[in-house]
Structure 1
Amino acid sequence: MTADERREVREAVLAGRRALESLEEASEALDSASNWGLFDLLAGGLITSLVKHARLGDAREALERARADLYAFTREVDDVRTIESLCVDVGGIATALDVIADNPFVDLYVQKKIDDAQDGVEAAIGATRTVLARLEALR
């Protein structure tokens, strides 16, 4: 392996580690939002809904960083293809209804959106780890 190839592999590994860190941060934020969502379903109220949506905001920010880091990673390695699906978008109307009306049907809808986002993040974590392992084997 030439010095340039080693440098490219090293850059890809660093980008992959940043992406993995961002994805894990997003996963933690989604876990927190999910826990608050479950609590909101069972015994929540206005405060619970507000906290849940604050955690969803944290998750959105973490997912934006993860998406940017994954784009950087894929520029280095063209193996990860699921970047566009990384988002959590409950929607403004559902958010307002969830906080104001605190309806169990809206709570279930929001919980489903959180669960879908968690699935996407876990898939991206798995794919990133796989590619990182291959790159690290090259070093």
Structure 2
Amino acid sequence: MNTLENDITEAIFAAEDALQHLYQAKTFLKKARNWGIFDIVAGGFITSIIKHKHIENAQEEIRYAKTALENLTRELQDVGDYITVDIEIDTFAKVTDYLLDNFVSDIYVQSKINNASQQVDDAIYETEKIL
């Protein structure tokens, strides 16, 4: 296998790896969103714990996806850094959501989940476009 074929193969593997983790993140974010809605309507402390566990799982998958996307970017040097995805829920928001567990904190965390879901969908689209 020549260098070009090897680079193409490695790029395909990196893209497929990224997609696998992005789809996993999307699944966890969907679960977090559903639990977030329940938390807003009738949730409590346990609901917040479950919601944040799904958020943490999504964050882990996003970290793996980012590594795969960095590998893909290296393999396809012309791709650049336009495929980005992140989920940031600061410690204050998390603690507030657990302790106060009120409508405002639930809505704030829900907006973070929705934003991350959109970023994951965008990253999936951009990665699939490369394949």
Q: Aligning the two structures, in what range does the TM-score lie when normalised by the shorter sequence? A: over 0.9
Secondary structure, in 3 states, of the residue corresponding to 1:81? coil
* 1:32/1:55 contact within 8 Å kept: yes
Secondary structure, in 3 states, of the residue corresponding to 1:59? helix
User: For residue 95 of structure 2, what is the aligned residue in structure 1?
Assistant: 96
User: For residue 35 of structure 2, what is the aligned residue in structure 1?
Assistant: 36
* 1:80/1:128 contact within 8 Å kept: no
* 1:80/1:127 contact within 8 Å kept: no
2: CA distance between counterparts of 1:99 and 1:27? 23
The unaligned stretches of length 5 or more in structure 1 are: 133-139
2: CA distance between counterparts of 1:123 and 1:80? 15
User: For residue 7 of structure 2, what is the aligned residue in structure 1?
Assistant: 8
Give the deviation of 1:61 after TM superposition: 0.7
User: For residue 17 of structure 1, what is the aligned residue in structure 2?
Assistant: 16
Q: What whole-Å deviation, never above 9, does each CA across 1:45-93 have from its counterpart, x for those lacking one?
A: 010011111111111111111111110111111325334x422111111
Root-mean-square deviation (CA, aligned residues, Å) is 1.4
Q: What whole-Å deviation, never above 9, does each CA across 1:91-128 have from its counterpart, x for those lacking one?
A: 11111111111110110000000000011110000000
* 1:29/1:59 contact within 8 Å kept: yes
The unaligned stretches of length 5 or more in structure 2 are: none
Q: How does the TM-score come out when normalised to structure 2?
A: 0.93
User: For residue 81 of structure 2, what is the aligned residue in structure 1?
Assistant: 81
Q: Percent identity?
A: 35
Structure 1 counterpart of 2:30, which letter? D
Structure 2 counterpart of 1:115, which letter? N
User: For residue 137 of structure 1, what is the aligned residue in structure 2?
Assistant: none
1: CA distance between counterparts of 2:2 and 2:64? 30
Change in 2 beyond 3 A, CA 1:75/1:57? same
How many residue pairs get matched? 130
Q: How does the TM-score come out when normalised to structure 1?
A: 0.88
2: CA distance between counterparts of 1:80 and 1:32? 31
Structure 2 counterpart of 1:45, which letter? G
User: For residue 121 of structure 1, what is the aligned residue in structure 2?
Assistant: 120
